[in-house]
Chains A and B, each alone.
Chain A
Amino acid sequence: MLFNSIDFAIFLPIIFFIYWFLVNKNLKLQNLLVVLGSYVFYGWWDWRFLSLIIFSTIVDYTVGQKLRSAVNESNRKILLWTSILVNLGFLGFFKYYNFFLDNFVTAFSFFGSEIQANSLNIILPVGISFYTFQTLSYTIDVYKRKLEPTRDFLAFSAFVSFFPQLVAGPIERATNLLPQFYKKRTFNYNKAVDGLRQILWGLFKKIVIADNSAQIANEIFNNSADYSGSTLVLGAIFFTFQIYGDFSGYSDIAIGTSRLFGFNLMQNFAFPYFSRDIAEFWRRWHISLSTWFRDYLYIPIGGSRGGTSMKVRNTFIIFIISGFWHGANWTFIFWGVLNALYFLPLLLLNRNRTNTDTVAPGKYLPSSKEFYQIGITFGLTVLAWIFFRAENIGHAFSYLSTIFSKSLFETPKFFGMRTAISTLFLIIIFIIIEWLGRNEQYAIAKLGFTSKKSVRYVIYYSIILAIFLFMGQQQQFIYFQF
Chain B
Amino acid sequence: MKAFLKKTIIFLVPLAIFFSAMEPLLRNIPNDYSYKNNYLMNNSNKISKLFLGSSHTYYGINPDFISGNSFNGSHISQSINLDYEILKKYKNNWEALEYLMIPIDYFTLFSRMRNGVEYWRVKNYNLYYDIQLSSKLSENSELLSINLKSNIKRVVSYYLLNKTPITCSKLGYGNIYVKSKDLAETGKTAAIRHTTKDFSKLNETIKILEEIIDWASINNTKIIFYTTPAYTTYVSNLDADQLELTINTINKLVEKNTNCSYFNLLEDSDFYASDFSDADHLNQEGAKKLSMKLNELIITQ
**Chain B residue with the shortest CB-CB distance to A21:** B1
Partner of B117, one of A6, A187, A215, A460: A215
Q: Are B147 and A470 in contact (CB under 8 A)?
A: yes
Does chain A have a CB within 8 A of B160? no
Contacts A196-B8, A460-B11, A464-B15; is A415 near B138 (CB within 8 Å)? no
B side interface size, CB within 8 A: 24
Contacts of B193 in A (CB 8 A): 415
* Assembly CA distance A347 to B240 (angstroms): 52
**Nearest CB on A from B10, distance (A):** 10
Q: Are B11 and A6 in contact (CB under 8 A)?
A: no
Q: Are B149 and A6 in contact (CB under 8 A)?
A: no
Contacts of A223 in B (CB 8 A): 192
**Chain B residue with the shortest CB-CB distance to A413:** B185
Size class of A's contact patch?
20 to 34
**Chain B residue with the shortest CB-CB distance to A17:** B5
Does chain B have a CB within 8 A of A91? no
Q: Are A457 and B192 in contact (CB under 8 A)?
A: no
* Assembly CA distance A126 to B212 (angstroms): 37
Q: Are A187 and B1 in contact (CB under 8 A)?
A: yes
Q: Are B148 and A193 in contact (CB under 8 A)?
A: no
**Nearest CB on B from A140, distance (A):** 38
Contacts of B120 in A (CB 8 A): 473
Contacts of A215 in B (CB 8 A): 117
Does chain B have a CB within 8 A of A364? no
Contacts A5-B138, A415-B189, A473-B120; is A189 near B4 (CB within 8 Å)? yes
Q: Are A193 and B4 in contact (CB under 8 A)?
A: yes
**Chain A residue with the shortest CB-CB distance to B147:** A471
Contacts of B138 in A (CB 8 A): 5-6, 474
Does chain A have a CB within 8 A of B137? yes
Contacts of B185 in A (CB 8 A): 413
12 sampled A-B residue pairs with Cβ under 8 A: A5-B136, A7-B137, A187-B4, A189-B3, A215-B117, A223-B192, A414-B189, A415-B192, A457-B11, A465-B148, A468-B148, A472-B147
Give B residues with C-beta under 8 Å from A: 1, 3-4, 7-8, 11, 14-15, 117, 119-120, 136-138, 143-144, 147-149, 185, 188-189, 192-193
Nearest 9 Cβ contacts at the A-B interface? A468-B148, A6-B137, A469-B148, A415-B189, A223-B192, A469-B149, A471-B147, A187-B1, A189-B4
Give A residues with C-beta under 8 Å from B: 5-7, 20, 187, 189, 192-193, 196, 215, 223, 226, 413-415, 457, 460-461, 464-465, 468-474
Beyond A6-B144, A187-B1, 7 additional contacts (C-beta under 8 Å) are A5-B138, A192-B4, A193-B4, A414-B189, A465-B148, A473-B119, A473-B120
